Amino acid sequence: MLFAWIRHPSLRQHGTRAYLRQPENPSRMRAESAGNAGMWIDIGVNLTHSRFDPDRDAVIARAIDAGVERMILTSSDGPGVLAAKQLRQRDPERLWITSGIHPHEAGQLRDEDWETVCTHAEQPDVVAIGECGLDYFRNLSEPEQQRRIFEKQVELAIRLGKPLFLHERHAHADLLAILENAGPALPKAVLHCFTGTAVELEHYLTLGLWIGLTGWVCDERRGRHLVALLPEIPEDRLLIETDAPYLLPRTLPDPPRNKRNEPAFLPHIAAFLASHLNRDLMDFSSQLRTNSFHFFWPHAAFQELPSHAHARSFSPR
Ligand SMILES: [Zn+2]
C-alpha cells in the first residue's frame, strides 16, 4: 500500500518530468489532466515568496494543470497582505488570501502593519486571519510579544466572524490556553502544517480545530508518526496544503533540482494521504474540497465542480 500512489495514472501524468518541460500543447495537457486527477484546494501557499519571483506565472499555470482549483495565499505581515492582495488580482476566482501576523514578525510589528492587517481582514477576499499563532522553536520574537499579538488576532477573528489560520511550533500548551480563553466565541480554526503528537492532536480536535497537513507527512524521517495519526483525524475536519515554497514532499518521484515546493505538488500529497487512509483518490478529493468550502467559503452556495475548471487557463499579465 505504501507506494500505491505511484501507480495512479494521473500522478504519473503529473510527474515532475512533465512539469519541468513546458508542454507543447498546454490546452491538450489540461484536457488530459481533467480526466481523473481530481480537483484540489491548496489552503496554504506562500506564493508571494521571493523564490517564486522568477517564474510565478508558470508556477500558477502548472498548479492549474495539476487540478489545483483554488489557492489560499498565506500572509505573514502587513506588506505580505498587500503583496498577496495584488497577486490575487491576476485570478480572483482561484487566488484567495489570509491577513495576519506570523509569530516570527510579532516582535517588530509596527502600528501601520497592524492597521493594514485589520483593514484588509474585513474584505471578502480575505478568507482567514493568519497565519498567526506561537513559535517557540525558533523564538524569533519574544514569547510574551508573540502571545500578545496572537491574542489580538484571535479577538480580530471573533469580531469579524472569520476563521483562524494557526501556526504552532513547540508552543502547544500556550496556544491551547489562548484559544480556550476565547470560550464559545472561538471561530473556526485550522492548525496549519500540523506536526505534533497524538496527545496534542487530541487536544486540538477536542477544541474543535481543523487539521491542515502538508508534505511533512511524506517525510520518512520526520513525518512517520503523522501517518500513524491519520485515522484519528475526522475526515470532515481535514484540509491539505503545500506550504510552498517550503516542505517539498520527499516522496516526489522526480524532485526538482532547486528543491522548491510548489502548489502543483498538492495532488501528490493528497495521493500519499489517500493511500495510507485506504481512500479512493476521487472520493478523497471530493471530501477535501467539501471541507475547504465549508471552512473558508461557508456562505457561498456550495458549487459543484465548475465547468470552466479546466477550460479556462491562467493568463499571466
Ligand atoms: Zn506556518
CATH number for position 259: 3.20.20.140
Contacts of 285 (CB under 8 A, 6+ apart): 38, 39, 40, 270
Rounded CA separation 68/193 (Å)? 18
Q: How many Å lie between the centroid of ligand 1 and the Cα of residue 94?
A: 21
Please tell me the number of Cα atoms within 13 Å of 26 on its side-chain side. Answer: 17
181 is in which domain, residue-wise?
A: 4-15+44-296
Secondary structure letter of residue 124 according to DSSP? T
Rounded CA separation 209/83 (Å)? 28
Q: Which residue has the cell 500513524?
A: 228
Torsion of CA 17, 23, 27, 31, to 10 degrees: -20
Phi-psi region of 208 (alpha: psi -120 to 50; beta: other; left: phi over 0): left
Rounded CA separation 68/2 (Å)? 24
Q: Are 64 and 94 in contact (CB under 8 A)?
A: yes
Q: How many Å lie between the centroid of ligand 1 and the Cα of residue 74?
A: 9
Q: How many Å lie between the centroid of ligand 1 and the Cα of residue 76?
A: 9
Structural domain contains residue 290:
yes
Structural domain contains residue 23:
no
Q: How many Å lie between the centroid of ligand 1 and the Cα of residue 103?
A: 9
Q: How many Å lie between the centroid of ligand 1 and the Cα of residue 192?
A: 6
Q: Which amino acid is at 107?
A: G
Q: How many Å lie between the centroid of ligand 1 and the Cα of residue 106?
A: 14
What residue ranges of the chain have pLDDT lower than 50?
1-36, 307-312, 317
Q: How many Å lie between the centroid of ligand 1 and the Cα of residue 57?
A: 23
> Helix or strand or coil: residue 215?
helix
Q: How many Å lie between the centroid of ligand 1 and the Cα of residue 72?
A: 13
The three cell numbers locating residue 43:
489552503
Rounded CA separation 48/180 (Å)? 32
> Helix or strand or coil: residue 39?
coil
pTM, to two decimals: 0.85
Q: Which residue has the cell 475548471?
A: 309
Split into its structural domains, the chain has a count of: 1
Q: Are 34 and 314 in contact (CB under 8 A)?
A: no
Q: How many Å lie between the centroid of ligand 1 and the Cα of residue 43?
A: 12
Q: How many Å lie between the centroid of ligand 1 and the Cα of residue 196?
A: 13
What's the confidence (pLDDT) of residue 301?
A: 62
What's the confidence (pLDDT) of residue 305?
A: 53
Q: How many Å lie between the centroid of ligand 1 and the Cα of residue 306?
A: 30
Strands, DSSP E only, in the chain?
40-45, 68-73, 95-99, 126-135, 164-169, 189-191, 210-213, 238-240
Contacts of 179 (CB under 8 A, 6+ apart): 154, 186, 189, 207, 209
Please tell me the number of Cα atoms within 13 Å of 266 on its side-chain side. Answer: 36
Q: How many Å lie between the centroid of ligand 1 and the Cα of residue 225?
A: 19
Structural domain contains residue 114:
yes
Rounded CA separation 133/187 (Å)? 14
Q: How many Å lie between the centroid of ligand 1 and the Cα of residue 244?
A: 11
Q: Count the Cβ atoms, other than its own, within 10 Å of residue 238.
A: 21
Structural domain contains residue 234:
yes
Structural domain contains residue 315:
no
Q: Is 107 exposed, middle or buried (0-12, 13-18, 19+ CB in 10 A)?
A: middle
Q: How many Å lie between the centroid of ligand 1 and the Cα of residue 102?
A: 8
Structural domain contains residue 9:
yes
Q: How many Å lie between the centroid of ligand 1 and the Cα of residue 269?
A: 17
Q: How many Å lie between the centroid of ligand 1 and the Cα of residue 249?
A: 16
Q: How many Å lie between the centroid of ligand 1 and the Cα of residue 8?
A: 30
Rounded CA separation 291/302 (Å)? 11
Q: How many Å lie between the centroid of ligand 1 and the Cα of residue 211?
A: 13
